[in-house]
Amino acid sequence: MNDKMYTAALIGTGRIGFTLGFDKKREQPASHTMALLANKKIRLIAAADTNQENLECWEKFVKGKFVREAKTFSTSEELYKAFTKIPDIITVAVNEDSHLEECLKAIKARPRLIILEKPVALNSKEAEKIRLAAEENQVPVMVNHERRFAADYNTAKAYIKKIGTLQSIRGELYSGLRIYAPEFEKDGSYSLLHDGTHLVDIIRFLLDEDLENPIVCGLYKDDKDAVRNFSAHYSTKSCPDISLYMSGRSRFFSFGLDILGTEGRICLGNGYAKFYQRKESKLYTGFYSLSRDHSIHLPKKTGYFANMVQNAVDFLDETAPLKSPLSEAIADLRVLEEIKAKLQ
């Protein structure tokens, strides 16, 4: 058994970096801080944030209670200069418009692994700069597409083989945030990028296929010319009918997938996962119906954040590949950009 310990530093102590760890309704750990602290093979030794209030709250929570010495810095540059030996893991959990800058700085510091929040960058051009720098400096980058690590979605990936030939996949994402408008590209504050990256990534993960050449319809724009509704349709070798539906004018948040095969069905999303198999019908003689498969037992927690950090540890232990590598996140961006081109 490999008992090697790894050090980690956090860039960004805001919501995903820290404070979502206090949300009592969310499955915990729900932030990078809490997930890093919870892993027995990681020592979180430093954090940097330009927001002094956030940084002070982080320091007060972490110091003494979890880490004997946790250093804090106002900038990532200060953090890197302070260590003669760079932490093994650097987690970049800043806003989307700072991903390129902060990830390039982290790569230049040459840790053994970078964990980067999704989306990888504002666009694929910026993402390519990250990829080239990572390759040049031989620094692997993992992107936190959390559903790749969740027990329910991994169960679904295995279960797809049991539902026969795929007939259709319907992905839905509903929220109140605008889907797209050109003026928001500068900071990434639009749902196609911020949330759509999850929808595209998990479908690609489940199918092990790319999504190309979308047919976009159902386009609806508000009085400010911001896109509020659309659907995108694909056909691949494994599934002839893949549909993505997004709404940015809903008064609720909903994320879900409906996967239909010739022998069964999978329905899963935020807070639910249901699996169905073809069985002899209890309602009609000579017919078959879909019946809930109660043999599937999921753990109470999906482990989405904890499993992500564990995958980082396993990678450094050389016992597993990265489950969400940079290359997959860049491919997600390209899918989103093909859609975006047809929304304008």
List, for residues 204-263, the tens digit of each pLDDT value: 999 999 999 999 999 999 999 999 999 999 999 999 999 999 999 999 999 999 999 999
> Whole-model pTM?
0.95
**Amino acid identity, residue 321?**
P
Q: Rounded to whole angstroms, how far apart are CA atoms 327 and 322?
A: 11
Sign of torsion over alpha carbons 146, 150, 155, 158: positive
Rounded mean pLDDT of 7-23? Answer: 97
Confidence of residue 2 (pLDDT cuts 50, 70, 90): confident
Residue with tokens 């948040």: 253
Asked if residue 29 has a cis previous peptide bond (ω within 30° of 0), the answer is yes
Q: Rounded to whole angstroms, how far apart are CA atoms 316 and 321?
A: 9
Q: Which residues contact 291 (CB under 8 A, 6 or more apart)?
A: 276, 277, 278, 279
Q: Rounded to whole angstroms, how far apart are CA atoms 147 and 136?
A: 29
Of the candidates 181, 184, 8, the one whose C-alpha atom is nearest the C-alpha of residue 89 is 8
pLDDT number for residue 223: 94
**Amino acid identity, residue 304?**
Y
pLDDT number for residue 1: 59
Q: Which two tokens stand for residue 152?
A: 């329910």
Residue with tokens 């020592």: 43
Residue with tokens 């509020």: 228
